Structure 1
Amino acid sequence: MKIKHFILATSTVVAALFFTGAYWSLDRVIDGIVRANANRISEAATRITFSAMYQLMSSGWSRKQADAFLRGMAGAGEGSGMTVQIYRGPSVVELYGEIDQPPLDEELRAVFDSGEALRRDDAAYARHVYPLLAEERCLGCHTNVRPGAVLGTIAVQQDYAGLVADARRELLLAFALLVPLAALLAGAAVWWVGRRIEGAVGQLQEDFDQIATVSDLKALAVAERNLGFVELNRIDDALRGLLDKLRGIAVDKEILTFEIGLLEKFVITSDVVRDWRDYVGRLLVEINGVLPAHTLFSIFKIDDELFDLEVFWFGPASAETKAQMEHYIRQELTDLSGFADPGSCNIHHHVANPDGVRIELTEAEVALRVKSFFVDKPKIGGIVGIGVHAGVLDDETRYLVVESVLSTLLNVVGSVKAIYKYTRDLEYYATRDPLTDLFNQRVFWELSAYEIGRAQRHGYSFGLLLIDLDNFKLINDNYGHTVGDTYLQRFARQVQGALRDGDILARYGGDEFVAVLPEACQEAVVGIAERVRRAIEGLELITPDGTRLHATASIGVAVYPDHADSAKDLLMFADNMMYRAKAAGKDQVAIPSQEDVVDIFRDISQKSVMVLEAIENRRVRPYFQPILDVETRRIVAYEVLSRIDLDGQIIRADEFVEIAEKIGVIHRIDMLVLEQALATIAASDHAGEVFVNLSPRALVFSEFARDLRRIVAASGVPPHNIVFEITERDTVKNLGLLERFLNDLKADGFKLAIDDFGSGFSSFHYLRRFPIDYLKIEGDFIANMLNNSKDKTFVTSIRSLAREMGITVVAEFVESAEVLAELEALEVHRAQGYYIGRPGPGLLPADWAPAG
């Protein structure tokens, strides 16, 4: 509804109410006035009649005069609505006879009886009845009464219904003339007011019609003016104040949609990690959909003096423009505290839209339009800063949006680069030994199995060397791990140089190395082994104090299919031959004879019998190795290890587990160890967790899960205190079966850990598929991380990965206070190793002290 229509309607209602009220009020006033006047007139007529009648009676009037007087009074009010009637009382009739008069009614009789005047107002008339009372002077004629007697009455009746009707007609006529005039004046006033309001509103509308975008809002200038009404001027002032506020807070829907859409794309996926540079290029294209942005750049710190600068151009840029951008970024970095000398910088330019318009910028344009973020201490992925070269940055809102996008992008790009780097490192070290860069144990088993299949198909033999350094522990103990690591690295290069092209060398663990020699008979294998031994003899390492260290090694030889037909048996055979070489004085190649084959497999059979007897006689024992909470320095968990008690001699797990797996009794050993371990835990005051190794091969036994639950239920140890460790060292052919089994354990309240994480690439498949609670980092990385930056990087990567996934990290092989201190600095949660405590048959106090 328009204001003028509202004013008109309101005025009409008000006028109607006013005139109605005025008419009603005037009608009441007129009615009252008419009635009051009628009463006064009738009363006055009564008194005049009484006085006139008294005067006539005093003069001695005749009957004829009396009759004439009465008729005259009766006709006096004719035409005026008033009637005057005189009535004779009984005493007068008695002396003078009756006259022609109307019959008496109740009111008249009441007045005759009471001698008091009567007044009655009706809706149509007013009636006054006055008694004629005898006085002393009347007794001369009226001899039959006493003073005060009622001689007669005078009744005066004034009809005013007609008077009221006439007055109302006059009033209606007056209103009929007044209402149109009032309506005309009101309409004119409404039109005048409406025109002024519409004019004022029109001025405001013209101003606000100019606004189509937030930019128009900010460019709009509304001058102060007089709109003709105080109220409208106040509204105008309020609107101008609101306009000023909106300029500060208004945001284009377009740019908000852009920001939301861009932030929705900040989702890190495997594709983003793999092609992160393409991802950043696509983001630059998205940014250009809202504001012109020529460049998006990011800079990463590789080490103390090396940086990676990635510059993404929306279109092809000239060499001068690239150089100016590089100079600007270097200058910005130099101005930061902590990066006073950025050193060398690897610069990589990328073009998001190769077919786009060529970019030519001056040095001033580069410096003026760059919005950048730099951090003093790179934390995520080594990212130091990120920036965008964009136009329209003088718009405060767009500036804030770009700032928001960049701050988020700083974390996203940093995370993507970090994950990219971590993934690349993890993938590399999943197959490589980080110290020597040789293949690791996992790859050795895979390549061994592959070589057996190839040899079977093509009908040839191949060799296997197991190389074990002599007296390597003395080097570590006397010269430290740094020298020991350098020694192993030089040793690996020396052995690799002595092998043939195509031979495969892997670090099996510690100071043990294995070499697969494809397409080689025993004679050729022995020749290569001797060449390797001589190469090792030629190794010399000078320590920092000038000591010259020389190396020797014992080498065991095995040939497929002469000595074994499976990878594990082949390695077991070579391992036995290597121990024979050590027993013969070290620095030798143990060449197997036919008798050796018989003896070794007889030894394997004896070990199998030993394992079976230990199971039958329940001589399998649990040993407990403590796990320390790094922050609180308290023992919070134990790992249960298997041992066999052979007449007081304790046999370690590495001496019988492979045999137990081969003869299919590993699940029975697991059950025996678990049952005794839980009984020990239940009888102690240990309220923490217990880690139990779980062989994936045990899952093929249908009764395994049933026995597992039965033993746990009988022990009284709550399931949430039991952590089952799985390792990917052994190939699991049916991952689906393992996944179902582990999910069932998780549903029952048990916890899960991956043991030796990083020893093979399957660890990542386990991590992705299974509900893991703990990661136990491969001990080799922990042992060497103080002296090898690659190992430390690997540990840091695993810790970062676990933190992102909410998984607790346990570091193995913690053998010194320095390693423990570094783990604390890296925020690794738990530690396990000989420095924390060696495996033993009993539990330790919760308050930890370093192992002696």
Structure 2
Amino acid sequence: MTRIKTIRGLLLIAAIVFSTALVAATHYAVSNLFERSVRDNAMRDANTFAEMTFQSMFQLMRTGWSRQQLEEFIRAIRRSVDNTQHQIQIYRGPRVAELFGEISQPAFDDPIRKVIASGDSLQLNNGPEVRFIHALRAEDQCRVCHTNAQPGEVLGVIDVRQDITPLLAASNRQFLLAFAPIIPVAVIATLLMVAYIRRRLDRAIGGFATNIRSVSKLADLRQIEKARLDFGFSEFSPVAGEVKQLLERVRGVAVDKEMLEFEIRLLEKFILTSDVVKDWREYVNRLLLDIDDVMPAYALFSIFKIGDDIFDLEVFWRYTPSAKSQQLFETTVKESLGRNPYFAGGYAVSIEHNIADSSRSLPELVREDIEVQTKSLLVEAPKIGGIVGIGMQAQPGADSTRWLVVESILSTLLNVVGSVKAIDKYTKDLEYYATRDPLTNLYNQRVFWELLDSETIRSGRHGYKFGLLVVDADNFKSVNDTYGHGFGDMFLQEVAAAIRSAIREDDLLARYGGDEFVVILPETDLAGTTEVAQRIIDSVTTMSIETPDGARVTGSLSVGMAVYPEHAIETKDLFLFADTMMYRAKAEGKGRLAIPTPQDVVEVFRSLSEKSILILAAVEARGVIPYFQPIVNPKTGEVEALEVLSRIRLEDGSILVADAFVAIAEKMGLMHKLDYILMERALEIVSQSDYKGLLFLNMSPRALVLNDFVQETRRIAASFDFDPGRIVFEITERETIKNMALLERFINTLRAEGFRLAIDDFGSGFSSFHYVKRFPIDFLKIEGDFIVGMKHNEKDRALVRSIVALGRDLGIRTVAEYVEDTEVLAKVVEQGIDLAQGYHIRRPTPSIEEALDITLG
């Protein structure tokens, strides 16, 4: 097919095609519209005719007509539509025929049967015929004669039909006669439009050609740039714009060298030094002066996020601006921020103005200067605190090519100034959070020990007493598990605030970890310490927080106390004493203060000393004893795994269980060493037996921060030629969830070495589900309280069913803990839990042979 090469030919063909299509579309649309009108009128006539027929019938029926009168009425109705396009038929329904007998009528077709069945009238408006079927439904007064009918039942139908073919044919003929004169008028109008468009194009293209022929030197390009290129139609405006941009790029080649030299000179100054970080505002002022030497510039500004919805706007002026110019500039910048989605939620702005050269005043700015000549670069950069922006305003007449270079410089300046601000903020944050707990903003554990050491030395030198309180939030785990970690964090913040309000300004409050706080009370004796402790308990007891479900949660504290030097003179001893007293308060019923007596001092330190000595001796003599508890398949009784539990044998032959020494060992920093010894002793025993199943080992939270934990466990497994895939480390929420990134790296490293992982007490807290989502977990050890509760509580059974379904869907095996009797074991089997352990199956035993000798009853 030959391609059309002229606009004239293209317009002519397009006009003809357009005219033809317009006429055809108009004819089609109008004729369809008319046909719909004819059909609608015919349907309304049929509807009216059927209603009138019914009303006539109804009037006769009320007089109690005979069968002969009925038949005569039907014949009269039919005669009334003879020699017309209408047809009418009255049908007697089954209910009437049942009572009064059949009449002569055509057989029911599908539409008639549908109306009789549904009781709704029906309109059929397709094809050459319009049909309306009117349902005759029984009313209360109809039942006088039609005793077998109920109100609403169909007694019969009136079927009205009309052939609309003649009407449609007549309308088409009339439309064609009326439309014929319009066709030549449309064609002539189209041709005139084509001629007009062609004349406008010829004039615009001729003018553009004249401008191009006038270019004889580089300076002439600026004249064409300033000229208004008009092709007569807005659709061709992009062509004119592209031509101007091309000319601008061509003209820019001649100044590339000059601008590159300028750019290099500035970029050489973009080097971060300690002086730049220290006084970055002076640094930006100097850069503004350098830019102004090449391109007249009168202001730079930068926007940094310095807090939650708080931004810092720094404006750098070339010369001193008026107050009106400052206000106008601030308003314009805020309006620009308001149009950015990042700021849509609202923000606060702190504004500071800086002047590079105060010896002169800046000419008064008008709004058009700022709106037209502002170049903003808004970049989201989380590493430097959120949104960072920098912009420039220049005087009119600046070379556009120079603007391109300056904009690239501004982009670099954006990163430089942003980095300076970020370094400053990051340094301050490091200094702050090195000493503070990020949740409560209280001192952290490390600073607490420094303060405690300092207070011990100061009080010892001056002969002062001071009090130490160890405070534990009662039932915090229950609050955390019930309402989630978000509410739990808010609860701890409220507890911290309540404690802070109950102590003196110079008393030292720190968060020791989890739900535990510590308070140092300088220059306070036993009576004063007791008074402050009780005030703290009262303050938290009156606290009430609304939960997400609208309930109220109140606070309760268990507090232990110690006084220097009455109860100890060494800082660690003083802390352990107060910590022990806190546990005594919890054991006595919580929500109280344990006030030490002279006898307590003897008992506490004897107990702590004995346990500390035992732990040290166990580490020294490698005296940790592994106990084994079987984990079985509840259906078959087969032992598939053994959980290894830590015990220490005392000199009198008695056994110290883990609960009695784990807390002290963790505070002594020795728990991980006990774990290593336990693992070695367990692998030694297993290697000497025929057992080929899995070993479950509990993991101390301290393992997360030990660089050598993975290497050490790998070494131990390798020394016994033990497959790491047979070792399952159990992790709990405890302290791990507070640093998910650290936990994720740690777990992925363990998995890379081949070890398996289990979540202990699964379902006891929200973070357990985070573990399943983020980590490669092999086993879920279901919270024991749920397992025991299955005997009597449907909610516990529902929770267990959900956990089992979750594990099955994710390919994770489930383990039931606390299987204490036959009834619980039956529920475990019923719920489809994969594995089970508990005293009903076997108590922990040092004999691996006994652990493997299982018979489920």
TM-score, normalization: structure 2?
A: 0.48
Higher relative contact order (CA 8 A, sep 6+): 1
